[in-house]
Amino acid sequence: MYIGRDFDPAQPNESERYSFDFVNDLQAGDSIASAVWTCGVAAKSEVVDPGAASCISEPAVYAGTKTTQRVSGLQSGCTYVLTATVTTVGGDTVSLWSHIECRQPGAGPAVVGLANPRLIPSRIIPPVAIITSRGPVR
């Protein structure tokens, strides 16, 4: 499911952690047992990056309802789709995805949508301070 907001733009030389919180997508009391992230080129991208899958660098981290992934090696001008697919302790499989645009510094302002509390750009909101559309994370 699309998270409802894109991540803030990245620069080609950055290596950043990106996170999703599945708190509103898991059954009450369930938690993440495993997480797999993928990176692909968005259909709306003006640039194609044949190495998009290799932008996922190192294994995903997960705890409770949150998963985090380091992403690096993005190509300027390319818009990517980051997808996290989790399997829960209860046996459910759930996916969330969002876009990330890569731009050179000074390439102009990005148009960013309204904040979606399930989308956690780790560089902006530390995972300990998460508020969701249904209230604080327990």
Question: What pLDDT digit, counting tens, does each position of 47-73 carry?
Answer: 999 999 999 989 999 999 999 999 999
Other beta carbons within 10 angstroms of residue 124's beta carbon come to 10
Binned at pLDDT 50, 70 and 90, residue 135 comes out as very low
Residue of 1 and 121 predicted with greater confidence? 1
Residue of 129 and 137 predicted with greater confidence? 137
pLDDT at site 106: 72
Residue of 80 and 127 predicted with greater confidence? 80
Q: Distance of CA 119 to CAs 7, 8, 47, 75, Å?
A: 8, 10, 24, 22
Report yes or no: 19 and 126 within 8 Å, Cβ to Cβ. no
Report yes or no: 98 and 7 within 8 Å, Cβ to Cβ. yes
Question: What pLDDT digit, counting tens, does each position of 68-116 carry?
Answer: 999 999 999 999 999 999 999 999 999 999 999 999 887 655 444 444 4
Matching residue, tokens 């301070």? 129
**Length of the chain in terms of residues written:** 138
Question: What pLDDT digit, counting tens, does each position of 10-40 carry?
Answer: 999 999 999 999 999 999 999 999 999 999 9
pTM of the model: 0.77
Q: Which fold has domain 15-136?
A: Immunoglobulin-like (2.60.40)
